[in-house]
Structure 1
Amino acid sequence: MCLQPRPRTNRGATVTTALPTRYLTPDDIATLLSVPLETIYAWRKKRTGPPAIRIGKHLRYDPAAVREWVDSLSADNAA
């Protein structure tokens, strides 16, 4: 699976060709992976999706951890 995000504007930041260096929101992850936002929350509840952290009341994803998670899926599918 290739993680090529579609262009999207979010509070002044644009997600274009590569993962941004800032922490990602659940909306960002849904857009990057082309899945519904509800899927992101379901993965979190089942502990099957990319790891997330809480910053105050906000859920955020480390871009490096998301990349590792996607790479692990690719490795699992190749085996």
Structure 2
Amino acid sequence: MIRNLWGPEDVAKYLNVPVATVYQWRHKGYGPSARRVGRHLRYRPDDVETWFAGLEA
């Protein structure tokens, strides 16, 4: 089953960071991978969770 895609707001809520931080990460080439769907930035929840799991403590 395919899960819904997340927007930057959803990623920020999941990671408990400001939305601006998600955009800054994207601009700097850091953070979970995202794709553009038209004008909209979308994240696969699995990509966000994998990225987060790979962070060093």
User: TM-score, normalization: structure 2?
Assistant: 0.90
- Quick check: which one's helix share is greater? 2
Structure 2 unmatched ranges of 5 or more = none
The percent of aligned pairs where both chains have the same amino acid is 44
The superposition leaves residues 11-68 of structure 1 with CA deviations (integer Å, 9 ceiling, x where unpaired) of xxxxxxxxxx100000001111111110000000011111100011110001111111
Give the structure 1 partner of residue 46 of structure 2. 64
- Quick check: which one's strand share is greater? 1
Partners of 2:22 and 2:9 in 1: how far apart? Answer: 9
Q: Whose radius of gyration is greater, 1 or 2?
A: 1
Structure 1 unmatched ranges of 5 or more = 1-20
Compute the RMSD of aligned alpha carbons.
0.8
Partners of 1:45 and 1:65 in 2: how far apart? Answer: 17
Partners of 2:15 and 2:49 in 1: how far apart? Answer: 11
